[in-house]
Structure 1
Amino acid sequence: MKKRMTSTPHDAVFKRFLRHPETANDFLTLHLPEAIRQRCDFSSLRLEPASFVDEDLRAWYSDVLWSVQTPCGLGYVYVVIEHQSSPDNHMAFRLMRYAIAAMQRHLDAGHKTLPLVVPMLFYHGATSPYPFSLNWLDEFADPQMARTLYACPFPLVDVTVIPDDEIVQHRRVALLELMQKHIRQRDLSGITESLATLVMLGYTNRRQLRVLFHYMLQYGNTADPSVFLRRLARRLPQYEERLMSIAQKLKQEGIQEGRQEGRLEGLQEGSRREALRIAGSMLQNGLDTETVQRITGLSADELKPLHS
């Protein structure tokens, strides 16, 4: 409890000074690295109404976010002050988290590219000099591997460019990759043989197959799912009953949908005939065409035959 109370004066002093534009200007021109400082137009400094420190940590940390124009557009300088007498050995990671939160805020405001956010730590702890690295990659057990991972493009599995002949060799993940590669095709019959072969290899369990079949039918663009399922069933006799059951269900749903559409079309046609009858009566009673259109919702072309 004592720590929470003694941190309050630090917070108040820090914010009173670094939220003042001229003071912030002096602070940044003195302490920013030269390569970054040269790219900042400090006349454009603007205090941003944002804080990214976790709610439960605000007794020990304070932060200030300034935006500044650079040759590449809007950038930010994010300054955190640590009020604890014992420094946080994960402060670099915390600064990275807060910087990413500032980037997300920038994107949420409608910007199309990520901004440069310069995280800075203002330290006045009991231990001097500051004892930890402020390169967040140094916090990993293997910093060199972390640099290799996070300084390069992330691994990408783009099945849209992997040849089918290569995909079918991917053992337990082959069926998933092949189906998701082709799910938007108008006709899946071109991969029937490959699908059947992969199923027969036995890499996929029944539950996975059931999910896959329903996925094909629910999200695929196949023109006639029933035909596709029947073709697949002929190649997979052990799944024929299941596949034909799905195909039959689709057929019944199609019949019911057709009946519903027919009823809807009938209702719509009946409503149109009634509107025409009412419109004819209105015109005979001297109402002008524009008024009749507004009341019935009919077009001028639909009313033309009624004038004769």
Structure 2
Amino acid sequence: MPKSPRKRALTSPHDALFQWTFSQREHAIGLLKAALPPEVVAAVRWSTLRIEKGSFVDRALRSRHSDLVLSARMGAGRIYFYTIIEHQRDVEALMVFRMGLYMMRLWERLTRERPGLKMLPPIMPVLIHHSDTGWTAARAFQDIIAVEGPERAALLPHIPRFEVRLIDVSGGRAGDLVEQALTALGKVVLWCLSVCGDDERLEREIGRIAAALDEVLQAPDGLAALEALLRYLVATHERLSVRKIGGILEKAAGPRAQEAVVTALDDIERRGERRGRAQGRAQTLLELLAARFGEVPAEVSARILAADEATLVTWTARVLTAPTPEDVLGDDGQRASPARRSVARKRARGT
């Protein structure tokens, strides 16, 4: 089982699969080697690649964009790779502008962490895109600046200039990508992203990744990878049953995949049952809190909805005696101030 990738709130199935896969160095190196210019690939010391902490995507956009920051030695310094996966129906016309914002935030963080920095390290922006139409917007920042005629040439030296490396998986095969540099799991993941929500293509084109899928299953972490893939496909192909999707993968990978698919499906279904019970307990607890205290604070509600079943059982037992909603969470939550506790006690007594 591979080490868990850096912890962060996952906001979409695309984010979950992307982070799980490419937060592992082997697969991240394969992706970057496949996406970057040959001159850069040759200059980077790939043995020094590391996953950087933090996300620069606006919270409101995390259902559509997921980012991953990596860095490696190149020459005397480090180069940073700012990678975004963008999954939405339409192409965002100013996506290159948004990429620029995120790159600036990364540079800003680097200057805060190293106050004596005299020069900025290079950042290579990589965009993995999927939409109904495929990429139709500008790749270069200077191409979204609205100025024409002879004055454009005079202004260009004063306009930021950069171009994103684009991996457009919308059409099935990613363009501008050296596929042989990808790991087997990297190939399968990009293909799964490309058929997101298209049940017919999932069944029709599964043979395209049969060899890669078989290689994934033979790896030491093959079962974990298969479970991650199944979870993504189940989440993005809602009209197909879990068993149907498992059968599609099993057929593509051959007889050796049968046991792995069955094991992964059983685990997914067991976890789904546990998650269903936990969601039911969480809803009951929220209703009890609302009946006793009135409106439940947002931070308390968020922690309850994210808790496991055993924790919810403990918290539910405290509802009748805890003086505030925060105290229901006990030492697991933030303790309420004495003033808030006094108000809560009066409210609970109806005074």
- Give the TM-score normalised by the residue count of structure 1: 0.45
**Structure of larger gyration radius:** 1
Question: Hey, which of these two has a bigger chunk of helix by percent?
Answer: 1
RCO (CA 8 Å, sep 6+): is it higher in 1 or 2? Answer: 2
